[in-house]
Amino acid sequence: MATGRVFLVVLLALAVSFNVSLAKTKICDKGWECKGVYCCNQTISQIFTVDNFEELFSKRNSPVAHAVGFWDYYSFINAAAQFEGIGFGTTGGQLMQQKELAAFFGHVAAETSCGYSVAVGGP
């Protein structure tokens, strides 16, 4: 009977030590704007800050803009959250996240005044 108790105590100690080692590993099970310990990728707001947005789209509210006040950083972050389910800017590691955001903003630039040859501050 004492042998059974010793075996049970040893088994319990092993289980606890195994669970402690598992608690230290990251498991990616969260998505958009995750703040928990299970997040492996950075969030879009960590990769692309308000300052980055202001620098890239500095002319968006100029008098010649067609939609003054429409395009702002917080609107972008909220819109991006709608595509979290398909992994927009939140999967594949930091480099892949940066590439995906760069491709998206490249498309935005090409389709707006940023790609128009006579735009102020344009190419």
| Tokens found for residue 59 | 């002319």
- Whether 111 is catalytic: yes
Rounded-to-integer distance, Cα 118 and Cα 5, Å: 83
Query: Sign of torsion, CA 53 56 58 63?
Result: negative
Catalytic residue among 33, 84, 100, 111: 111
Q: Is 27 exposed, middle or buried, given 0-12, 13-18 or 19+ CB atoms closer than 10 A?
A: exposed
Catalytic residues: 111
